[in-house]
A and B are shown apart, each in its own frame.
Chain A
Amino acid sequence: DTGVSQNPRHKITKRGQNVTFRCDPISEHNRLYWYRQTLGQGPEFLTYFQNEAQLEKSRLLSDRFSAERPKGSFSTLEIQRTEQGDSAMYLCASSWGQGDEQYFGPGTRLTVT
């Protein structure tokens, strides 16, 4: 399978718990992006990596959110002390180079109760 994969596909958690999502990009892509999408809205940029370096993080992103891409391959997005407002679809995308088309994964749907 050469597409972007994300795990888990669904996550239900209680408010205050920590959650971690994983993204496996297309193997030859060196850029990896995280977005968040709520119902009826377009995806909202969270952060991006070039290889293992995190080069930009949205100013809207709370410090409860952290992302890593330790070996320049897969990436993880962790949310600490989840809040109900964190409920959303978390999308990962990868691309070959800067400005190129991005390939999106199926997303992880987070529900915070």
Chain B
Amino acid sequence: GQQVMQIPQYQHVQEGEDFTTYCNSSTTLSNIQWYKQRPGGHPVFLIQLVKSGEVKKQKRLTFQFGEAKKNSSLHITATQTTDVGTYFCAGVWSSNTGKLIFGQGTTLQVKP
């Protein structure tokens, strides 16, 4: 079915440490999108991955899409306190609808 599993649920790191969250689908995705939600805020788009094996970077953030288009990861290098929030992956199975199926999210806490 259309379901995305995301791990871990929570991650506490010391400022400067790295952070990774993983997303898995049992079926092939059309594309995957990543969103960040700050405490009390709404989801904000980070990036979209479409191609098999795609890797995209945004400053300290690296996003990967698996070769089979069933898994994805977000890696943050040298976390900062501004990285605090919940990171969601969202799978798209049909590009016709654009409907997003969100994972449960990974909440990142950064200790200064």
Question: Does A95 lie within 8 Å of B104, measured CB to CB?
Answer: no
Residues of B within 8 A of A (CB-CB), count: 25
The distance in angstroms between the C-alpha atoms of A13 and B41, with both chains bound, is: 22
The distance in angstroms between the C-alpha atoms of A103 and B42, with both chains bound, is: 9
Pick the residue among A31, A41, A97, A99 that contacts B92 (CB under 8 A): A99
A26-51, CB < 8 A from B: 31, 33, 35, 40-45, 48
The distance in angstroms between the C-alpha atoms of A93 and B100, with both chains bound, is: 11
Q: Which residues of A contact B103 (CB under 8 A)?
A: 42
Judge if A107 is at the interface, Cβ distance under 8 Å. yes
Number of A-B contacts (CB under 8 A): 64
Pick the residue among A42, A43, A48 that contacts B97 (CB under 8 A): A48
> Taking CB as reference atom, which chain B residue is nearest A101?
B45
Judge if B101 is at the interface, Cβ distance under 8 Å. yes
Question: Does B95 lie within 8 Å of A99, measured CB to CB?
Answer: yes
B69-94 near A? 1/0 per residue, CB < 8 Å: 00000000000000000001010100
Q: Which residues of A contact B6 (CB under 8 A)?
A: 42
Where the two chains meet, the residues of B that have a C-beta atom closer than 8 Å to any C-beta of A are: 6, 30-31, 33, 35, 41-45, 48, 88, 90, 92, 95-105
Sample of 7 A–B contacts (CB below 8 Å):
A41-B105, A45-B99, A93-B43, A100-B98, A103-B45, A105-B42, A106-B41
